[in-house]
């Protein structure tokens, strides 16, 4: 069915017109690479009767990912959150760890879940990543580490954070959940800090349905994490380390392999869509699209717009107009981790230190992107945003 024309305010669903889309248009619709290749692999897995526990598909997946990123070790996991927890534990972080509040709540939860206090530091409003000066301000005698997040796939200020970590004897690791395919100073994200943690959740640019991985050049750390993800087993009946169940299953690795072959195409579609949004949204007073550094690689998965106070519509007005059209735009990561439980009750005054985080949280909208968003949908979405303003 052709999309409705959006010419005047009476064409908007919030004003009684039919919605632009009869099915919900999600922000996180999965990219599915080569379906036939995936189904062939699943057949093979079933024939092989090896479904999990470091099977051949997972081993191939780990080798391919490590080669793709140019890193020594890729330790595949069942999801990004468990991967974060295992990495944090393997690095022996304790006490307090500095993180941004402007991230998905898994970053903070992975610490708190293990009895570590997440200490929230403010961000740079232009990049949405940790502000190194703010990180310095949050260091106390109890601080043992920093987790930088490469938000929206843009690398955190890695060199500055590493310098702070070195100066204060802290461990630096990265939550690279958004940053598969990104670069920093031309080098692939994946080998910075002590380790980097990826999420391959269905909603990510590159997905294994559920999944994640920790990548590192550190042999000993990789070996420890391999033990930890499999209850600490080293061979039959021989447990030599505390552990949990963090294993990736074979079917997820098969999805990852099929999607890795298609990843260049996925990035190309995302990037084209991103440019189309930029062109279509240009010139709306008080509204801008967050850009990425042209000199660095980025999957362009996240289309992030910012609605300033001088825009004719509020952020929430625009979200309401989009939702009425069945366009399920998101306010990621509103209201910020520090205003979510348990952190809101535990540290009720943290917001005083997070001026930029709070300002950014009030103005962000994330729009749909990915291989299931056709070009004409971008025109329609942008026309709706323009009219809502
Ligand atoms: N660190 C960071 C910085 C992260 O962003 C994340 C995850 C993590 C760590 C933890 O990694 P994982 O443990 O998740 O591997 C979603 C994802 O669940 C989450 O993975 C992601 N970040 C976060 C940014 O977004 P929700 O609550 O928005 O998910 P959900 O289920 O509402 O999905 C979004 C939309 O996508 C849905 O409205 C419908 C659509 N969708 C979703 C799925 C799962 C589909 O169309 N098909 C699907 O299969 O958190």
C-beta atoms surrounding 261 within 10 Å: 14
Beta bridge partners of 360: none
Mean pLDDT in residue range 50-74: 98
State pLDDT tens for residues 106-128: 999 999 999 999 999 999 999 99
State pLDDT tens for residues 172-189: 999 999 999 999 999 999
Element housing 196 (H / E): strand 196-199
Nearest residue (by CA) to ligand 1, atom 20, is 201
Reported confidence tier of residue 324, pLDDT bands at 50, 70, 90: very high
Nearest residue (by CA) to ligand 1, atom 35, is 28
State pLDDT tens for residues 257-279: 999 999 999 999 999 999 999 99
Determine the distance separating the centroid of ligand 1 and the alpha carbon of 202, expressed in angstroms. Answer: 7
Determine the distance separating the centroid of ligand 1 and the alpha carbon of 265, expressed in angstroms. Answer: 21
- Whether residue 335 is preceded by a cis peptide bond, meaning omega within 30 degrees of 0, is yes
- The two structure tokens encoding residue 263: 């990843």
Could you tell me which residues come within 8 angstroms of residue 41 by beta carbon, excluding any fewer than 6 positions away?
57, 254, 257, 258
Does residue 72 contact residue 62 with C-beta atoms inside 8 Å?
no
pLDDT at position 302, please? Answer: 98
What is the atom index within ligand 1 of the atom nearest the CA of 332? 24
**Rounded Cα distance, 218 and 198, in Å:** 16
State pLDDT tens for residues 127-161: 999 999 999 999 999 999 999 999 999 999 999 99
pLDDT at position 4, please? Answer: 86
Mean pLDDT in residue range 203-229: 98
pLDDT at position 3, please? Answer: 85
Task: Give a three-class secondary structure readout of 203-224.
Answer: CCCCCCCCCEEEEECCHHHHHH
Mean pLDDT in residue range 295-313: 97
- pTM of the predicted model, to two decimals? 0.97
Residue 371 has pLDDT above 90, yes or no: yes
Residue 244 has pLDDT above 70, yes or no: yes
Determine the distance separating the centroid of ligand 1 and the alpha carbon of 124, expressed in angstroms. Answer: 24
**Rounded Cα distance, 301 and 21, in Å:** 21
Determine the distance separating the centroid of ligand 1 and the alpha carbon of 122, expressed in angstroms. Answer: 23
Mutate to test the pocket of ligand 1, among 28, 99, 180 (most ligand atoms within 8 A of CB): 28
Reported confidence tier of residue 2, pLDDT bands at 50, 70, 90: confident
Nearest residue (by CA) to ligand 1, atom 22, is 104
Beta bridge partners of 198: 213
Mutate to test the pocket of ligand 1, among 104, 155, 365 (most ligand atoms within 8 A of CB): 104
Mean pLDDT in residue range 39-68: 98
Mutate to test the pocket of ligand 1, among 174, 201, 206, 304 (most ligand atoms within 8 A of CB): 201
Residue 1 has pLDDT above 80, yes or no: no
Say what percent of the chain tops pLDDT 90: 97
Average pLDDT, the chain: 97
Nearest to 39 by CA among 257, 206, 201, 269: 257
Could you tell me which residues come within 8 angstroms of residue 127 by beta carbon, excluding any fewer than 6 positions away?
151, 154, 157
Say what percent of the chain tops pLDDT 70: 100
Mean pLDDT in residue range 347-370: 97
pLDDT at position 15, please? Answer: 95
Determine the distance separating the centroid of ligand 1 and the alpha carbon of 3, expressed in angstroms. Answer: 27
Nearest residue (by CA) to ligand 1, atom 45, is 29
Pocket residues: Cβ below 6 A from ligand 1 = 26-30, 79-81, 103-104, 106-107, 149, 175, 177-178, 199, 201-203, 212, 328, 332
Does residue 161 contact residue 132 with C-beta atoms inside 8 Å?
yes
Determine the distance separating the centroid of ligand 1 and the alpha carbon of 139, expressed in angstroms. Answer: 31
Mutate to test the pocket of ligand 1, among 29, 76, 179, 203 (most ligand atoms within 8 A of CB): 203
Apex CA 153: angle with CA 338 and CA 59, to 5°?
105
Determine the distance separating the centroid of ligand 1 and the alpha carbon of 27, expressed in angstroms. Answer: 9
pLDDT at position 28, please? Answer: 84
What is the atom index within ligand 1 of the atom nearest the CA of 201? 15
């Amino acid at each position: 069915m052709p999309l409705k024309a959006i010419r005047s305010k009476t064409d908007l669903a919030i004003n009684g017109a039919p919605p632009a889309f009869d099915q919900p248009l999600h922000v996180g619709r999965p990219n599915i690479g080569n379906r036939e290749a995936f189904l062939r692999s699943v057949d093979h897995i079933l024939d092989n009767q090896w479904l999990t526990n470091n099977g051949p598909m997972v081993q191939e997946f780990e080798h391919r990912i490590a080669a793709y990123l140019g890193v020594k070790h890729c330790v595949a996991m069942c999801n990004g959150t468990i991967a974060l927890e295992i990495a944090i534990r393997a690095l022996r972080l304790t006490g307090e760890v500095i993180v941004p509040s402007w991230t998905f709540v898994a970053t903070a939860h992975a610490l708190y879940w293990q009895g570590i206090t997440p200490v929230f530091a403010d961000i740079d409003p232009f990049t949405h990543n940790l502000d190194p000066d703010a990180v310095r301000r949050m260091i106390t005698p109890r601080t043992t580490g920093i987790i930088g997040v490469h938000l929206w796939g843009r690398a955190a200020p890695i060199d500055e954070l590493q310098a702070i970590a070195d100066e204060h004897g802290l461990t630096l690791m990265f939550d690279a959940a958004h940053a598969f395919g990104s670069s920093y100073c031309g080098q692939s994200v994946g080998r910075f800090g002590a380790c980097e943690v990826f999420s391959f959740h269905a909603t990510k640019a590159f997905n294994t349905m559920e999944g994640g991985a920790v990548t590192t050049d550190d042999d000993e750390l990789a070996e420890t994490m391999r033990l930890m993800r499999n209850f600490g087993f080293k061979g039959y009946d021989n447990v030599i380390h505390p552990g949990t169940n963090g294993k990736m299953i074979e079917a997820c690795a098969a999805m990852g392999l099929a999607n890795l072959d298609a990843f260049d195409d996925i990035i190309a579609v995302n990037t084209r869509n991103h440019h189309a949004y930029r062109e279509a949204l240009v010139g709306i007073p008080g509204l801008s699209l967050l850009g990425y550094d042209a000199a660095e690689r980025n999957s362009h998965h996240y289309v992030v717009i910012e609605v300033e106070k001088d825009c004719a519509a509020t952020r929430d007005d625009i979200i309401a107009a989009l939702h009425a059209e069945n366009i399920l735009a998101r306010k990621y990561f509103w209201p910020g981790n520090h205003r979510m439980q348990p952190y809101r009750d535990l540290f009720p005054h943290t917001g005083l230190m997070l001026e930029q985080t709070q300002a950014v949280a009030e103005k962000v909208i994330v729009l749909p992107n990915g291989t299931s968003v056709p070009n004409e949908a971008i025109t329609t979405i942008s026309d709706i945003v323009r009219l809502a303003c």
